[in-house]
Amino acid sequence: MCMEVNMSNTGTNLVKLLVRGMVGLVILWTMLLLGLTGFTFALAGGLVTALSWIPVVYPEIAQLTVYIDGAYVLVDPVILVFLLVFIGIVFLTLGLAFIALTVTIGKKAVIWDKRIGGYIDKTFVPNSDSRLVQLERLASLQERGFISEEEFRQEKENLLAN
């Protein structure tokens, strides 16, 4: 029993694997960094918002003074609460935006992968009409004994003449 292996696409498959692997690695690291950043922002925003009640309940802890017109003025704790809630909401929004961007990149990565594979196939896989493919077929036929040396030379000359 003889098993024939088609090696004509091996180089193309290796190139495809290498390119897709490198692009995939870049996308993976980008998604990881964006996802962690988003999670961190969202966590920080949630914590700041959740702890924004502290200046009202414990005003002695959150005494903030501002220098206005040559005097220090104590800031009302309610203003601090609003400021903390605003900062928390901004952080939450940024975190959710980073997470949404991560998900979008993940969905687009599938489309990019298909495009890369298609581009490599178009660029590196010779079509069946190319001279190289036809010469390889002739050589294979001659090696397996289907055509003689003379027939091989004659077909090769005809192919190269065109």
Per-residue pLDDT of the chain (162 residues; tens, 9 = 90+): 444 444 456 666 787 788 888 988 999 999 999 999 999 999 999 999 999 988 888 888 778 788 888 888 888 888 889 999 999 999 999 999 999 999 999 999 989 888 887 887 777 665 656 777 788 888 888 888 888 889 889 988 888 887
For residue 157, give the H/E element and its range: helix 149-161
Q: Which two tokens mark 62?
A: 């959150």
Beta bridge partners of 74: 65
Query: What radius of gyration, in Å, describes the C-alpha atoms of the chain?
Result: 34
In whole angstroms, what separates CA 122 from the centre of its chain?
A: 22
Rounded to an integer, what distance in angstroms lies between the CA atom of residue 79 and that of residue 71?
19
Q: Are 24 and 113 in contact (CB under 8 A)?
A: yes
Q: Which two tokens mark 29?
A: 């690291």
Task: Using a cut of 0.85, tell me whether the model's pTM lies above it.
Answer: no
Q: What integer pLDDT is reported at residue 6 of this predicted model?
A: 47
Q: Are 72 and 65 in contact (CB under 8 A)?
A: yes
**Residue 54, burial from CB neighbour count under 10 angstroms (0-12, 13-18, 19+):** middle
